[in-house]
Amino acid sequence: MEDVLHQYAQPYNPRHPLLCFDERPCQLLGDILVPLPMKPGKSTRYDYEYERHGTCCVLLAFEPHTGLRYVQVRSRRTAVDYAQFMQDLVRVGYPTVDRIRLVQDNLNTHTPGSFYHVMPPEDAFAFAQKFELHYTPKKGSWLNMAEIEFSALSTQCLDRRISDQETLEHEVLAWTHKRNQARTTVHWRFTKSAAREKLNNKYPMLTN
């Protein structure tokens, strides 16, 4: 936990930027009955029945110092998807940085080993050197600022039924563009000192 909080406390360094990464599955749901359109004094009304159209996954990397995020919608959340996302992230947003400090959770695909699924060994090893990985503790995913971004995405964009991946991707990318234009960011206030005070029962007890 303190390792992640320490990263958040560091000043902005464009050669060594801090990013928070997470991914979230999304259900694709369609209406069986056509919703009743909005009328004066009444919002759009949906029938409780719906059709399942599978799932997809939103992958998101967020840079709190600049208020920029990079988002993709993919059909799956495999090691290949993770590796390809990171390749695109570096190519599009960070081609010249020395190293990316990456905060993420402990999902088994979130490791440099995933890079070997899409690159020859020598390239995968070299690409892994572009990242300095910092993992949130188990049951501590709330320490990842990307979780806050996903909360905003859920309430501002995905709070309705979307039946196909193409439409969901269009909506997610529009939300991303608007948020990037505004440079919306997170002002993190939970520090190592606060953790030691408020979560002192989680720290090992010292013995003489």
Closest CA to 68 of 182, 172, 151: 182
In this predicted structure, what is the pLDDT of residue 124?
Answer: 98
Half-sphere exposure of 66 (CA within 13 A, CB side): 18
pLDDT at residue 52, rounded to an integer = 75
Q: Are strands 100-104 and 18-31 parallel, antiparallel or unpaired?
A: parallel
Q: What is the DSSP letter of 103?
A: E
pLDDT reported for residue 208: 60
Provide the pLDDT for residue 161: 78
CA distance 180 to 175: 9
Average pLDDT over residues 54-60: 93
- Amino acid, res. 1: M
Question: Does the pLDDT of residue 74 top 50, yes or no?
Answer: yes
Which domains are assigned to the chain?
Answer: 2-202 (3.30.420.10)
Task: Pick the closest to residue 104 from 65, 51, 143 (CA basis).
Answer: 143
DSSP state of 109: T
Query: Residue range 165-184: average pLDDT?
Result: 95
Coil, helix or strand for 28?
Answer: strand
Residue type, 83: A
> Which H/E stretch holds residue 203?
none
Q: What is the mean pLDDT of residues 52-74?
A: 94
Residue 97 has pLDDT above 90, yes or no: yes
Give, as one character, the DSSP assignment of residue 148: H
CB 102 within 8 A of CB 64: no
Give the model confidence (pLDDT) of 21-56 as tens digits. 999 999 886 655 455 466 676 665 555 566 777 889
Give the single-character DSSP code of 136: P
Average pLDDT value for the chain: 90
What's the pTM value of the predicted model, to 2 decimals?
A: 0.87
Instruction: For 118-167, write each residue's pLDDT tens digit.
Output: 999 999 999 999 999 999 998 888 999 999 999 999 999 887 778 889 99
Amino acid at 178: K
Of 40-44, 87-91, 167-171, least confident by mean pLDDT is: 40-44
